[in-house]
Amino acid sequence: MTQPYSIAVLPGDGIGPEVVGCALEVLDAAEARYGFRTERSEVAAGANRYLETGELFDAVDARLRDKDAILFGSMGDPRVAPGILERGFILEMRQRFQQAANVRPVRLYPGVPTPIAGLTPERCEMVIVRENTEGAYVGRGSTVHAGTPNAVAMQESLNTRAGIERVVDFSFRLALGRRRRLTLCHKTNILVAAGQLWQEVVEDLASLYPEVEVDYVHVDAMCFHLPLAPERFDVVVTDNLFGDIITDLGAVIQGGLGVATSANLNLDGSAPSMFEAIHGSAPDIAGKGWANPSGAVLSLALMLGHLGEGEAARAVEAATVEVLGGLPALAGAEMGATTAEVGTRIAELVRSGEA
């Protein structure tokens, strides 16, 4: 029998443990059906751990680094000041594990209500690839004359050719296996230095992928095109900050945070990739059974695909889509089933091979 995959599981805070619990039940089903195994180690991380011990990413780095993948719930708690967990854990992991590409499928699944009038699933099937380690997220900035009327704050966006190249190349390869269209999203008319470098890299790599059609859209215009003409996009590649913004708009279009999922991919095998739903810890509804576990289960599907278990990945996605389509609402008491029940339904479909 083949070696088990080693998976670190970080349930995190709020609804994180509930939705990750569902993902693990679905993983059990997928293992039973598709004949692979995982060895899971649960790692406590997030607000509770920070509040108890002051520990952030540093404390768990060694326990994650040798794993094949990380399944992540969500982090955040009103008792922790904004920025602490984001910078001390999430961004730190992206940096240290060189998770260069934040991959967010924006797909409207059949039966899922979208707030965009008239939008149909056929028209909304794209992947947004966000550069995940540099740009404005390098956190370089400083203030002179702080606390005086003359204060000036500088904030820097740092963009390296190597950093851009790896996500752009990844995006071209992704597009090759899809509809062969790559759109760069930036604001090149204003952010000239950074914009030129991005454009240069896209143009240079385009010659290596002549089958892929290349397109460009300003980030502000993206606010129009994404909701009104999503069929225009196959793979969209963009910088860290613009990606942060437009992927949330993407999530709106596909029906909301409950369904959206993401992968933080290390592209050179030097450290594990991380998979998570894009919703937050939602402490207000934690423990109520109101959270939709679909985002977390779909992140499991991305993880399985990444590990090379393509068949299992497709089955988990298909089962999730089927169950999602039958829910009266996407979250809350109106969902028509509890978090755990939704998870069990998906798991059953996977186990029986019906999906």
Name the site residues for ligand IPM (rule: CB under 6 A): 86, 90-91, 190, 220, 244
Per the DSSP assignment, residues forming a β-bridge with 186 are 218
277 DSSP assignment = E
Closest residue to ligand IPM using C-beta atoms: 86
Per the DSSP assignment, residues forming a β-bridge with 105 are 127
| 83-101 CB burial, b ≥16 within 10 A, e <16 | eebeebbbbbbbbebbbbb
193 is in the binding site of which of a second copy, ligand IPM, none (Cβ under 5 to 8 A by kind)? a second copy
Q: How many residues does the chain have?
A: 355
230 DSSP assignment = G
CA–CA dist 153, 143 (Å, integer)? 4
36 is in the binding site of which of a second copy, ligand IPM, none (Cβ under 5 to 8 A by kind)? none
CA–CA dist 12, 9 (Å, integer)? 9
Query: How many angstroms separate the Cα of 296 from the Cα of each of 193, 256, 274, 323, 332?
Result: 38, 13, 12, 14, 16
Among 64, 101, 194, 298, binds a second copy (CB under 8 A): 194
354 is in the binding site of which of ligand IPM, a second copy, none (Cβ under 5 to 8 A by kind)? none
> Between 225 and 345, whose beta carbon lies closer to a second copy?
225
Among 35, 78, 110, 115, binds a second copy (CB under 8 A): 115
139 is in the binding site of which of ligand IPM, a second copy, none (Cβ under 5 to 8 A by kind)? a second copy
> Between 6 and 160, whose beta carbon lies closer to a second copy?
160
> Between 91 and 263, whose beta carbon lies closer to ligand IPM?
91
- Sole window of 61-69, 238-246, 326-334, 347-355 interacting with a second copy (rule: CB under 8 A): 238-246
- Sole window of 43-51, 142-150, 298-306, 320-328 interacting with a second copy (rule: CB under 8 A): 142-150
- Sole window of 52-60, 99-107, 138-146, 340-348 interacting with a second copy (rule: CB under 8 A): 138-146
- Collapsing DSSP to helix, strand or coil, 137 comes out as strand
CA–CA dist 113, 320 (Å, integer)? 15
Residue 62 near a second copy by CB under 8 A: no
- Write down the residue that tokens 């109101």 correspond to: 290
CA–CA dist 308, 89 (Å, integer)? 27
Give just the sign of the alpha carbon dihedral 323, 328, 330, 336.
negative
> Between 9 and 101, whose beta carbon lies closer to a second copy?
101
Task: Provide φ and ψ at 195, rounded to 5°.
Answer: -60, -40
> What DSSP element (H or E) covers 261?
strand 261-265
> Between 56 and 346, whose beta carbon lies closer to ligand IPM?
56
Among 4, 83, 310, 336, binds a second copy (CB under 8 A): 83
CA–CA dist 101, 107 (Å, integer)? 18
| 143-159 CB burial, b ≥16 within 10 A, e <16 | eeeeeeeeeeeeeebeb
Among 66, 156, 203, 354, binds a second copy (CB under 8 A): 156
- Sole window of 144-152, 171-179, 323-331, 345-353 interacting with a second copy (rule: CB under 8 A): 144-152
114 is in the binding site of which of ligand IPM, a second copy, none (Cβ under 5 to 8 A by kind)? a second copy
- Sole window of 122-130, 185-193, 287-295, 337-345 interacting with a second copy (rule: CB under 8 A): 185-193
> Between 32 and 144, whose beta carbon lies closer to a second copy?
144
Least distance CB 266 / a second copy (angstroms): 20
CA-based end-to-end distance of the chain: 26
Q: Among candidates 355, 294, 300, which has minimal Cα distance to 322?
A: 355
Among 41, 53, 120, 143, binds a second copy (CB under 8 A): 143
> Between 37 and 140, whose beta carbon lies closer to a second copy?
140
